[in-house]
Structure 1
Amino acid sequence: MLRPMHLRGAQVLRPGGFSDAVVGIDGGVLSDDSCGRPVDLSGWWVLPGIVDAHGDGFERHLAPRRGALLDLRDGLAMSAAELAVNGITTAMLAQFFSWEGGMRSPEFAAEMLRAHAAIAPSQAVDLRVQLRIETHLTDRFDEAAALIARHGIGYVVFNDHVPHKALAAGKRPPRLTGQALKSGRSPEAHLALLQALHDRSSQVPAALEALIAPLLAKGVILGSHDDPDAEVRAQWQSRGVAVSEFPESVEAARAAGTGVVLGAPNVVRGASHTGNVSATALVAEGLCDALASDYHYPAPRQAALKLAQSLGMEVAWGLVSSGPARLLGLSDRGRIEAGLRADLAVVDPVSGRVGATISGGRLAWLGAELAGRFLG
């Protein structure tokens, strides 16, 4: 942990806008006092650390090539380093619990969570896990519940990746062969599994309710993923599933009202790569509580800086800091205020790149441009 210090000379994004007041860091929390030694950050912005509500970019570090699973602890440590370089101080690692196999299988989820438990406490950034449960994997819900309890997972999201439309029409689902090979099954075995999952659709609502009720009682935050329309979102809300991740239509986002998580890469690209609703349009309509990295960790920072041109810096950066912190129930971070956790991203206003990241009062990343100021 850093010794007491205060940052001066920078433009600091506080609630209400930019300020040139000093930011103190003492004992891992923020202060308004000029404590400890001064660090001159003239010419830089000091912003709240990014809170990433959903990201699966860590998978590239766990398996740099298909089937090339290295030490998962090293992979998670490398993920933490990439997060810090991009100003992310709290990250929800979105781990699948799915019939899809490979890195999405229940077996891999259990292995990943064991590695996370071993490595996360030693990392400078706050690494957390979101478990993404496939709705039709009902025969393994008990295993999912046990993992959630064992590892203290506080955020669970429900997905449905079964190609119901094609199966109901008796058609061969698209990309079947590739998905089968990725899962380690033959195309015939994979198709049989998909059909069996589709055929149990009538059992899913009751199984979900049995899984959801105790999670709600324990205060676990619940979300749905890729809501296609208002009807589906309303069904999830009736079950107590408050968060809507990446709604696919404006109707679904409007039905959600609050608790909407959108993909930052969608904003950076200017459109969804799958043809769904534009995140920028939903943000403009006020239908966004958090922008998440999804598959690309630089994206929250890039999206917020892009949106700042129209929304202003306070509103835009709030979509990657205070907004996701509220959504995840993390009241100790997301803003630069005395007494809160010392999570900061020091950003170059010209390039938009991160020069230093402080997470929980620890120096998580320090670039060459600022090394002399912090260490000199």
Structure 2
Amino acid sequence: MFDEIVSTSKIAKALLCVDAATAQELAGRTVLGQSVLFHQIKLLERLGVGEIAIAVETIPAEYPGLVDRLRADGMHVSLLRSGAEVVAYGQSAGLYLVQDAAIWASADILSGFMQCSAPVVAVLQEEPGWAAFERIDLNRRWAGIAVVDATLLKNSSALPDGWSLGSFLMRSALQAGYHDAMISDQAGNILLYRASAAAQSDLEMLARPKRATSGVVEAALGQVADKALSVLGRHGWYRPLAQWTGVTTAVLALISSIFQYITTSYILAFISVVGLYWRRHLQLSDYRKEESSWQSGAVIAILLATFAILLSAETFIGDAIFHCAVAAGLLWLHQRSVQSRLGAELSPLVIVVLLLGGHLAGFGLWSAKLVIAAMLAALLVSQKLNPN
């Protein structure tokens, strides 16, 4: 699930400045199936910025589609093509965050600037490690971030052809007497020049929302899903497949159980649970909150009915329903409890693997009893129940 950033931002508007040298690179470079620019915009949204403008003189073909998609999700995103449009964007009084889109700044860095109550320019100490960043003077380089007031944006009407808006605003801010804010190279303060050329592993670490502690099996599945999304996420069929695999295979598992295709039903149930994780992974990668939905509830209900039918082949139907009802209650308690390490490892995915393995070994009912016992043990060693 999302490790939510609680926004206390004092800045409601941001300006992402894209120069001609990196415009196409930012459009073509994808991480987890989305462009780098998409991840930058979503990070700003999570930090509390309500309105974002992309300032780019020459617009690659991919940009309008990205803006339309973000607007369809309810975001206030726009494209600015000239100095006059930048001036119009700056008509509202107050502070604006300016960021050079060629530079990736982590949430730790950006959230600090969101608290600024006065204009400021982010700078770096003159050191070899920062040599790629734009030099200000002999001792400082620009970190690609500034907090400016609306007055400074109104001076953008004088922007020349071939402009680099970020550099122009940074120079204007220094001339206006803005104070410096030095960024130190500390753990968590991740700053990358030319985000479009950064290593895949670096941007994956930066772009994805943090997850709550999960078990080993879930973590491994997440890594596989990351790779699949990076390779296949650009294809139009990928997202619908991830969205509907869980519910479709759950229905097929139920039908198979009714017709006594027991092994097939267990396998389809396993695929269905994987599909639920796949869907959740897609939501996280698209920066959507994981919400309780009719689809997840329906899949769980269908799978419980499926397992009741499957267990009835080894015991009385009443016993089978009882076992499934107990398992359903324990699953509900697990969702509401502060899980122990055992509880984290005993995920729904592990449970269905145990049931599948038990069936293949000829101990389907006993595997269900083992799962129920393990879930009870996990609840007993949990420190406390979540009162919410």
TM normalised by structure 1 equals: 0.24
Structure number, greater radius of gyration: 2
Q: TM-score, normalised by structure 2?
A: 0.23
- More strand per residue: 1
Query: Taking CA–CA contacts closer than 8 Å with sequence separation of 6 or more, which of the two structures ends up with the larger relative contact order?
Result: 1
